[in-house]
Amino acid sequence: MSLTDTATISEKRPDSEQEKWDTIIIGSGVGGLATAICLARSGQKVLVLEQHDVPGGWCHSFYLNGHRFTPGVHYLGLLGEGEPTNDLYRGLGIANDLVFFRMNPEAYEHVYIGENHFDFPASYEKLIERLSQRFPREKKRIETYLNLIRKVSEELYSLPYIKGFWQKLTLPYRTRHFGKYGMFSLQRVIKWHIKDRLLRNILNVQCGDHGVSPKKVPFVLHSATMYHYLQGGYYPMGGGGALVKAMTNVIKRFNGVIRTKEAVQLIILDGDHKKRAVGVVLQNGTHIYADRIVSNVDVGITYNTLVGTQNLSAKLQKKLENTTYSCTSLMLFLTVDMDLRKAGMDSGNIWMMPNRDTADIYEGISKNDISKGEAFEAMFISCTTLKDPTSFDGKHHTLEVITYIDYKAFEKFADKHEARSPEYLEFKEVLTQKMLKGLEKVIPGITSHIVHCELGTPLTNEFYINTTRGNVYGTEKSLRHIGPFAYRAKSEIENLYLCGASILSHGVAGASHSGVETAAQILGCTSDELKSPAEDQKLRIYEAEDSSDYPEWILNKIKVRHKKSSPRALSKTS
């Protein structure tokens, strides 16, 4: 009997000696952890199952030669007092356990487009002013366009709060900008407003935060992405792993259980016609039962593998067949013994792009042979030791360098049992050198200061994160995969729910909000009730570029980190 044949099981309920939970959550990304927090503190008996050896999904941190890296957390927005991400963390009860560093407020994004350079300030007003100075002929159009970005986003964020008969009666007026531009692509709207191509490319640089071409991404979604960062970017002290630790601590506090190295093989279904999720089968054959299942796993893997397509309606099968997933990536993890501040770097991200239309660059991802050419032209560069001063040992900096690619370049390696074949390793080395040559354009001389270098590929994403074709943002965030066209939190299978990047929204904050929304549907309340900011929770935020306000404990943490890596300390341990 095949694995999919065992997906539907009709048998008597497990006896009292077998494990039984209120809710089993498959996958421990921040969406699943947010769901677990909400359910556990409501009194449910919650079990989180994670295939990897650490929880966190894209937000987990790992170490290479003693230096920390986080593959999926590079910055967050809307963390100011009273802003949505701040309120979310206060509502989840994790704010007191978190510290964030605000990235360079004068340049939280450094944009390199060919020979052109522009810095995004952490201020809506300053951004208008700076862009207007750079492009004086576009001054009025810049203000009109960025006002539209803000209005559309504010209307989008207001939707859950429009309640009551009279408010709903005026909904078309309250959301008039959102409604007017909701069906248009970014490319169409920006071309209506902005005439200068370089200016359009600068404004579109944050397409990298959703990975979709301006031709395909809805203007509304891109507006929300820009709005998320209009007041700047923030990085968690301790990397993404600090977020995960704060969330898992709350889950455990409410008697929730998190188990790693527990890969789910199947979701057990009961019933011949109206199917109902009743448990899971682990890879070791263990059966665990629950009143409901929440999948924080990629939607394709959830439905096609864990549930089995034969257990789905024809409508859902067709939706899955027509689903497009987001792009995948190469991610270079670097440790260098170079003075990066002296080289001109700071806590701001660097977006490096060729001086071509942004849409053409994204369209080229699926067309170009990535093994050809001397260097990658488009990359995202993040220095975590400058974003989080407590992680810098006084000598070594860590960087995460990313470029988007099409999965097809790795298809020939996907089914091989020997994943690290000589051919695969040789291909990785070619791509590593291409990324380093691209990096040299921004930080000349960096390759002569490399202490350690490791390349993550789409196969790495598949292995550790378990995503369809190594995708990085869930479903592609085109019009047919967002809003009413996205996958729903409540599935057609009774007692099976989903959360994560393909449900409500992508990114760290989006996936977390998704987890809360899923919990609200299970508990029969509103997500606002579950993430209402707690009065005794407060997020601590310090400046990455200015240590003058650091409390003594942070200064001591930095001193200890430096001391451990000093030549004298190293000689004692060698």
Among 100-109, 113-122, 319-328, 413-422, the minimum mean pLDDT is found in 413-422
Looking at the fold, whether 221 and 130 belong to one and the same domain comes out as: yes
Residue type at 300 in one-letter notation: G
203 and 288: one domain? no
Could you identify the residue written with the tokens 């927090």?
37
How far, in Å, CA of 338 to CA of 223, rounded? 37
Domain membership of residue 16 (yes or no) is no
Residues 212 and 186 both lie in one domain? yes
Domain of residue 270, CATH code: 3.50.50.60
The answer to whether residues 192 and 252 belong to one domain is no
pLDDT digits (tens, 9 = 90+) for 258-308: 999 999 999 999 977 679 999 999 999 999 999 999 999 999 999 999 999
Is 263 within the bounds of a domain? yes
Q: How far apart are CA 387 and CA 488, in angstroms?
A: 36
For residues 133 and 172, state if they share a domain. yes
Domain termination site, one of 229, 252, 273: 229
- My answer on whether 212 and 243 are in the same domain is no
Are 219 and 271 found together in one domain? no
Banded model confidence at residue 340, pLDDT cuts 50, 70, 90: very high
Angle at Cα 372 formed by Cα 367 and Cα 378, nearest 5°? 70
Mean pLDDT of the 47-65 span: 96
Q: Which of 183, 187, 117 shows the shortest CA–CA distance to 361?
A: 187
Whether residues 195 and 212 share a domain: the answer is yes
Statement to judge: residues 243 and 218 lie in one domain: no
Among 229, 246, 267, the domain-final residue is 229
245 and 280, same structural domain?
A: yes
* Main-chain dihedrals φ then ψ at residue 52, nearest 5 degrees: -75, 170
Q: What pLDDT does residue 162 have? A: 47
Q: Would residue 26 count as lying in a domain?
A: yes
What are 193-234's pLDDT values in tens digits? 999 999 999 999 999 999 999 999 999 999 999 999 999 999
Q: Give the sign of the dihedral formed by CA 359, CA 362, CA 367, CA 369.
A: positive
Q: Which of 169, 147, 174 is nearest to 159 (CA)?
A: 174
Instruction: Tell me whether residue 93 is in a domain.
Output: no
Kindly state whether residues 207 and 145 are assigned to the same domain: yes
Are 132 and 216 within one domain?
yes
Q: What is the pLDDT averaged over residues 451-480?
A: 94
- Kindly state whether residue 34 falls inside one of the protein's structural domains: yes
Residue 160 is predicted with a pLDDT of 60
Domains contained in the chain, number: 3
CA–CA distance, 64 with 60 (Å, rounded to integer): 14
Domain that holds residue 61: 22-67+237-322+476-521
Residue 356 lies in a domain: no
Structural domain contains residue 129: yes
Give me the helices (H) in 74-204, please: 84-92, 124-134, 139-158, 165-169, 171-174, 176-181, 186-193, 197-203
Question: Strands, DSSP E only, in 4-66?
Answer: 20-26, 46-49, 62-64
Q: What's 487's DSSP letter?
A: P
81-108 per-position pLDDT tens digit: 999 999 999 999 999 999 999 999 999 9
Give me the torsion for CA of 133, 134, 140, 145, rounded to 10°: -120
In the prediction, which pLDDT does 547 show?
Answer: 96
Final residue of a domain: which of 229, 247, 278?
Answer: 229
Enter the DSSP assignment of 185. B
Task: Tell me whether residue 77 is in a domain.
Answer: no
